[in-house]
Amino acid sequence: MSTHFGDRLIDAIREKNAPVCVGLDPLIERFPKALLQDVGIPLTAAGAVEPDVDPAMCAKAMRAFGQEIIRAVAPHVPVVKINIAFFERYHADGLRAYFDLVRFAREAGMIVIGDVKRADIGHSSTQYAQAHLLDVPGADVAAPDAITVNPYFGFDTIRPFVDIARAEGRGLFVLVQTSNESAAEVQNLVLPDGLKLCEQVGKLVQTWAGGEGLVGRSGYSCVGAVVSPRDLDSTERIRTLMPQCLFLVPGFGAQGRTAAEVAKCFRSDGTGAIVNASRSVIYAHNIAPYCDRCGTDWTRAVEQACKDLVIAIRDVVPH
Amino acid sequence: MSTHFGDRLIDAIREKNAPVCVGLDPLIERFPKALLQDVGIPLTAAGAVEPDVDPAMCAKAMRAFGQEIIRAVAPHVPVVKINIAFFERYHADGLRAYFDLVRFAREAGMIVIGDVKRADIGHSSTQYAQAHLLDVPGADVAAPDAITVNPYFGFDTIRPFVDIARAEGRGLFVLVQTSNESAAEVQNLVLPDGLKLCEQVGKLVQTWAGGEGLVGRSGYSCVGAVVSPRDLDSTERIRTLMPQCLFLVPGFGAQGRTAAEVAKCFRSDGTGAIVNASRSVIYAHNIAPYCDRCGTDWTRAVEQACKDLVIAIRDVVPH
């Protein structure tokens, strides 16, 4: 893997005509009963997962669920984002399932974002960067194409990730404006020049992203940003302040952002963003109208929700 | 484990007369040759670790190294901080070694801080909180007494950690002022009221820390903060703004902060902080005068560096 990450992402979005990412946040409590039974997860009489199931068994269920999701969405969207928090809950077994799914998604031709939100001071960030951005063929580990990182420490903690991204054709998405409500407590603090903190962080990230050897032929850097349109004014300003950054846009679907809101994350030429939805797709088997329409094959519900998501996003991308 | 975390920490510091924490950041490249040979790590003719060593083997070396460090320092200091980044480098094998060392240190009577620096939006933070603050007896997982978390998302991402900390007698240290140089790019941004961002974050963390059921009989909350005396003015202000927060103080030793600087992190009664040193203790076998004085038993060098650290810190604590 050595082509520039931003170029690969832009090409993949164009090929599927879908600036869309499906987020894999697997909670076994919400898995289809049929899948849980296939894997052998013990269920109560009411069909709920028994407490204290063996973590290796849970990891097995997550692997099976993830593979079905990836098979269902891969024909329609270019990117899957896998959130490691849900896997860490099962410790070493979960981490193995996470990396197995990264490999599975890459082999299915998808671009994989590891949603790890890591950061630490320099020499510790180097360890995280090696863990999450480097393949280890001898250990059967395939790393994601890109990961999410946290900016609170400033650039010297981001540099180890940038160095590996540049050398290996990988990417980063630095948290700038997140989708949760109380993010405003920190990210909306207003600085004396009138910029909000998230806007100032966006400016900094653009500086980092424009560094030597980081911008591809598409004009985008391999260093992007996580930007939710939680605050629309900020979103417009951030889009202007960060011309070379690709935005990973959370908050659509279950988190309540509308398609018109996420549209603000694109540049006027219709590029520059990829919109993520997680729960509204991967749990579509629980959500009307999908569950009603798709009968017993729960993956049909997921696939239909994914196709509808793509159409909804296509509809609002500027062109 | 259900006594209040802050009370337990204060008691443990008093018992050893040592507001000191040893940080375990294990890099196998710096392990003593004798230990690497004992474990069976392949070495070059020059004594360096061969590239591409099997990760299970590396994890075994980290476990052995960590156990020796814990044995050497447990008589002298109350707390060990284990940085998960160094373990994640070896993926599932590393994560297993991390949790094994957490258990080992707890069984050695130490308070354990898991330096994980996690945070995500609410439902993902819940997963991280379960992974890192809850014992799972069936899976043979012992969680740390406390962990470090990142404040960039605001309180709704911290709440899941707080809820488990309150219920289980565990603790948190929220990143406020970190020790790395470029942290100033973000943390020293000045707000219109004259406070720096890290000071404002400190104020917020104090608000979170003072929440119902969080403050123990010692007067300290189970929600503390990571405060390095990188900027002395800020440090004094943060100490005043956060009266109920215990500070975990990095930056001493290899990172260059002096004892007089870390003294600013204590309250005038000599409580309120615990000073961490990592590389200057755990790699003392590589550092004069320890390596020269301690002959072939590298753990004697570590123990001596730990004892010297305790004396240096005792000397500057206000009393």
Mean pLDDT confidence for A19-41: 95
Q: What is the predicted pLDDT for the residue at A91? A: 97
Q: What's the pLDDT at B287?
A: 84
Q: Per-residue pLDDT for A2 more than 80?
A: no
Pick from A122, A224, A227: which is nearest to A183 by CA?
A227
Counting the structural domains of chain A, the total is 1
Q: How high is the pLDDT of residue A291?
A: 75
Interchain pair A154, B184: CB under 8 A:
yes
At B139-186, the pLDDT tens digits run 889 999 999 999 999 999 999 999 999 999 999 999 999 999 999 999
- Residue A140 pLDDT: 86
Length of chain B: 319
Looking at residue A301, what is its pLDDT? 94
Bridge partner residues of B276 (DSSP) = B21
The model's confidence at residue A252, banded by pLDDT at 50, 70 and 90, is confident
For A203-232, what is each residue's pLDDT tens digit? 999 999 999 999 999 999 999 999 999 999
Arithmetic mean of pLDDT over chain B: 94
Q: Are A88 and B127 an interchain contact pair (Cβ–Cβ within 8 Å)?
A: yes
Total beta-carbon pairs less than 8 A apart between chain A and chain B: 193
Give the residue numbers of A annotated as catalytic, written as ranges.
Answer: 117
Q: Evaluate if residue B51 carries a pLDDT over 90.
A: no
Cβ pair B189:A197 closer than 8 A: yes
CB-CB neighbors (< 8 A) of A189 in chain B: 191, 197, 200
Three-state secondary-structure class, residue A190? strand
Among B57, B141, B153, B164, the residue to mutate for chain A (most A Cβ within 10 A): B153
CB contact under 8 A, B55 and A139: yes
Q: Is 70 exceeded by the pLDDT of residue B30?
A: yes
- Nearest-neighbour CA in chain B from A127: distance (Å): 6
- Measuring CA to CA, how many Å separate A207 from each of A7, A154, A227, B186? 19, 12, 16, 13
Is the CB of residue A262 less than 8 Å from the CB of residue A276?
no
User: Is A1's pLDDT higher than 70?
Assistant: no
* Residue of B50, B150, B228 best to disrupt the A interface, most CBs of A under 10 A: B150
- Count Cα neighbours of A265 within 13 Å in the Cβ-side half-sphere: 34
Dihedral sign, CA of B204, B207, B211, B215?
positive
pLDDT (mean) for A250-261: 81
Q: How far is A110 from chain B (nearest CA, A)?
A: 22
Q: Which residue of B has its CA nearest to A130?
A: B89
State residue B289's pLDDT score: 79
Q: How confident is the model at residue B10 (pLDDT cuts 50, 70, 90)?
A: very high
- What is the rounded CA–CA span in Å between residue A24 and residue A282? 7
- Return the pLDDT at B132: 98
* pLDDT category of residue B260 using cuts at 50, 70 and 90: confident
On the question of pLDDT at A22 being above 80, the answer is yes
Closest CB to B153 among A89, A99, A178: A178
CA dihedral (B178, B184, B185, B191) positive or negative: positive
Q: Which residue has the tokens 């989708």?
A: A179
- pLDDT value at residue A293: 65
For residue A132, give the nearest of A72, A79, A88 by alpha carbon: A88
Q: Which residue has the higher pLDDT, A273 or B258?
A: A273
Range of the domain at A230: 5-316
- pLDDT at residue B189 in the model: 97
Contact across the interface for B154 and A123, Cβ inside 8 Å: no
Kindly state the average pLDDT of the residues B291-307: 86
Q: Which of B16, B33, B60, B117 is catalytic?
A: B117
The pLDDT value recorded for residue B1 is: 62
| pLDDT grade for B136, boundaries at 50, 70 and 90 | very high
d(CA A190, CA A176): 14
Between A196-200, A213-217, B65-69, B252-256, the lowest mean confidence (pLDDT) is in: B252-256
Q: What is the pLDDT of residue A52?
A: 86
pLDDT of A71 over the 80 cut? yes
Mean pLDDT of chain A: 94
Residues 6+ apart with CB under 8 A from B271: B10, B13, B19, B218, B220
- Single-letter code of the amino acid located at A270: G
Indicate yes or no: CB of A92 within 8 angstroms of CB of B99. yes
pLDDT at A296 over 80: no
The pLDDT of residue A3: 92
Strands (E) located in B109-264: 111-118, 146-149, 171-177, 223-227, 247-249
Record: contact B139-A54, CB cut-off 8 A: yes
Mutate which of A58, A128, A153 to disrupt the B interface (most B C-beta within 10 Å)?
A: A153
CATH assignment of the domain containing A217: 3.20.20.70
pLDDT over 90 at B235, yes or no: yes
